Amino acid sequence: MTSKLDSLERWVQDVAAMTRPAAIHWCDGSDAEYRALAQQMLQSGDLIELNQETHPGCYLHRSNPSDVARVEHLTFVCTKDEADAGPNNHWMSPADAHAKMDALFDGCMEGRTMYVIPYCMGPIDSPLSRCGVEITDSPYVVINMRTMTRMGAAALDRIEREGRFVKGLHSTGELDPERRFIMHFPEELTIKSYGSGYGGNALLGKKCHALRIASFQARTEGWLAEHMLIVGIENPQGQTHYVAAAFPSACGKTNLAMLIPPEGYREDGWKVWTVGDDICWMRPGEDGRLYAINPEAGFFGVAPGTSTNSNPNALTTIARDTIFTNVAVTADNQPWWEGLPGTPVTDWLGRPYDPANGPAAHPNSRFTVSAKQCPTWSAKAEDAQGVPISAIVFGGRRPSLVPLVMEARDWAHGVLMGAAMGSETTAAATGAVGVLRRDSMAMKPFCGYHYGDYFKHWLSFDKAGAKLPKIFHVNWFRKGKDGKFMWPGFGENLRVLEWMIARVEGKARGTETPIGILPANGELKLDGLNLPRETLAELLHIDTAGWQAELHAIGEYLDSFNPRLPARLLQEQQRVAQALDTPLKAANA
């Protein structure tokens, strides 16, 4: 009787024949395996032990200076038909991509160990979860994948039961930027990554599988794979609403996922529960609601900016058993980055710290840690059926124009809000920082197929019997004339979430505007917050002329996805544009 693992074993043998490793190790995900790999990397210098008194079980990894972020220009979606990849992706034909990658992989693991990593994205027993196997020559990848996924024997058992899995082949190669590619074959459920050791390029369960491949799977199978945090908001009556929120990298997803309520809210009994900080898989349940799981088991968070002011829960989470990548180090060997007290002595490159060389920690330096270490971690994160989503939130960094919060009038309007999202770019991707770009649903670097088809897929959930979440858009980053942020953000964002929940429950009437429903006068609770009335008015102000220009720009952006742009979305853009025109026409009549 043949085993369903036969295809896996044949694939492993084929890869070994091509890459020619010195040894093959099947990973079991055990504590002993982790300790052995960590010890091996300490001896090789790939890991540096940090202060074990202040940070027990913590290590530092310094990556190659040319390998510190995702490389979108070297990331390809390889579909048979170029049109299926869409203008939102770089495309290469599957035949050419396989030939290019296999030439790079030829003999690349000589003298190295080839690690076979069976993993499950999501709770092992969840019907929403999907399995994969990553083959890599990087022990750094192995220990990170152990933290970020359900890795090892249980995943291998599920793969044997199901007989299907996503194939991921990775090698650090020579870490040569000229020989670095990340190829996705969604129709084959296959990923090939060469020449990078950076998380988003090398931990293939993360962006590659959980978003690019999974988004393609989700479209085929009737669910959504999204770049979203999942957070539970428990009110004083003990009721919990779960919110999924999409923001581009370094726009506060982790901070919101681990939010600490303001003091007055804590005293009243409000609680926040962390389900996930980066990726959300949603599927309609039998009751018509969307249910979500976090396919990840850990956090791969941006370190700079994480502080006692911004995210004390994150600092508590990463105080032990954490892998830090490209951070600085203090005199007593503690991890350090901009935003923390104290002074570094060594920068992320291992040089004596000199402010003339730039930030001590790389702006995209990271921490990898188990989600269960978070003080606000929710046991619901392990629920096989997922958590019911009450609201979906979109947002980005917009210094002007976009109000603090607005609600979509219906699902189609909400899809337009998500499609039109814009944000200033961050250090999480290579290229210029601070440039405004459209990043629909925060999925521009991660959608594994044509954005026009993706928008159509989103719209398809609005059908008879569906009890869809309300959709909102937020902007924590609006600035005043003095260039400072007008909204305090962080824990105070719960005030905005409370209004959203009141809208979900039908307890807030809101104010209808051409661009969406805004909080009515007095509906945002500001007790204990020193926020001048005129500042709140500015945060909720709608610049009609500015929004008319915005809707025109949104129309041009959407037009770039023709001929696959769904007509329903263009109609919605035109409806909002016309609603903005109406007040001016009435005033000029």
Element (H, E) at 395: strand 387-395
Residue 491 among known ligand-binding residues: yes
Nearest alpha carbon to residue 381 among 206, 129, 146, 134: 129
Say which of 251, 280, 374, 447 is annotated catalytic: 251
pLDDT value for 76: 98
CA separation for the pair 418, 387 (Å, rounded): 22
Q: Which among 301, 29, 12 has a CA at the least distance from the CA of 142?
A: 29
250 in a labelled binding site? yes
Do you find a cis peptide bond into 388, omega within 30 degrees of 0? no
Query: What's the pLDDT score for residue 587?
Result: 39
Lookup: tokens for 28: 């079991």
Domains of the chain, earliest start first: 6-46+74-222 (3.40.449.10), 226-296+378-546 (3.90.228.20), 299-373 (2.170.8.10)
Q: What Cα–Cα distance (Å) separates residue 482 from each residue in 140, 414, 478, 486, 490?
A: 45, 32, 11, 10, 20
Give the residue among 395, 371, 400 at the shortest CA–CA distance from 273.
371
Residue 255, annotated as binding a ligand: yes
Buried b (16+ CB within 10 A) or exposed e, 31-69: eebbeebbeebeeeebbbebeeeebebbbbbbbeeebbb
pLDDT of the residue at 5: 84
Q: Give the helix ranges, DSSP H, for 292-385.
A: 312-317
410 labelled ligand-binding? no
What are the two backbone dihedrals, phi and then psi, of residue 146, each rounded to the nearest 5 degrees?
-60, -40
Query: In this predicted structure, what is the pLDDT of residue 366?
Result: 96
Q: Does 253 carry a binding-site annotation?
A: yes
- For 283, the 3-state DSSP assignment is strand
Question: Is residue 397 marked as binding?
Answer: yes
Specify the pTM: 0.96
Instruction: Determine the residue type at 566.
Output: P
Q: Is 131 annotated as contributing to ligand binding? A: no
The continuous run of DSSP H or E covering 103 comes out as: helix 94-105
pLDDT tens-place values along the chain, 589 residues long = 357 789 999 999 999 999 999 999 999 999 999 999 999 999 999 999 999 999 999 999 999 999 998 899 999 999 999 999 999 999 999 999 999 999 999 999 999 999 999 999 999 999 999 999 999 999 999 999 999 999 999 999 999 999 999 999 999 999 999 999 999 999 999 999 999 999 999 999 999 999 999 999 999 999 999 999 999 999 999 999 999 999 987 678 899 999 999 999 999 999 999 999 999 999 999 999 999 999 999 999 999 989 998 899 999 999 999 999 999 999 999 999 999 999 999 999 999 999 999 999 999 999 999 999 999 999 999 999 999 999 999 999 999 999 999 999 999 999 999 999 987 665 555 566 666 789 999 999 999 999 999 999 999 999 999 999 999 999 999 999 999 999 999 999 999 999 999 999 999 999 999 999 999 999 999 999 999 999 999 999 999 999 999 999 999 999 999 999 999 999 999 999 999 998 655 433 4
Helix, strand, coil abundance in the chain, percent, nearest 5: 35, 25, 45
Residue 569 CB neighbour total at 10 angstroms = 22
What are the residues whose beta carbons fall under 8 Å from the beta carbon of 87, sequence distance 6 or more?
Answer: 450, 451, 560, 561
Annotation says 108 is catalytic? no
